[in-house]
Amino acid sequence: MLTWALTITGALLLLPANILPVMTVVYLGAGDPSTIISGVMQLYDSGMWGIALIVFIASIAVPVMKLLGLVLLLIQIQWRAAFDPIQAMKIYRVVSGIGRWSLLDLFMISILVSLVDMGFVAQVSAGAGATAFASVVVVTMLAARTFDPRLIWDAYDGDCSKPAIVAETARGSAAENG
CB 67 within 8 A of CB 10: yes
What is the mean pLDDT of the segment spanning 44-65? 85
The count of other CB atoms within 10 Å of the CB of residue 29 is: 9
pTM summary value:
0.74
Rounded-to-integer distance, Cα 176 and Cα 4, Å? 38
Dump pLDDT digits (tens) for 75-95.
Answer: 888 887 767 888 888 988 988
Dump pLDDT digits (tens) for 147-157.
Answer: 988 888 876 65
What are the distances in angstroms from CA 153 to CA 71, 96, 128? 17, 17, 41
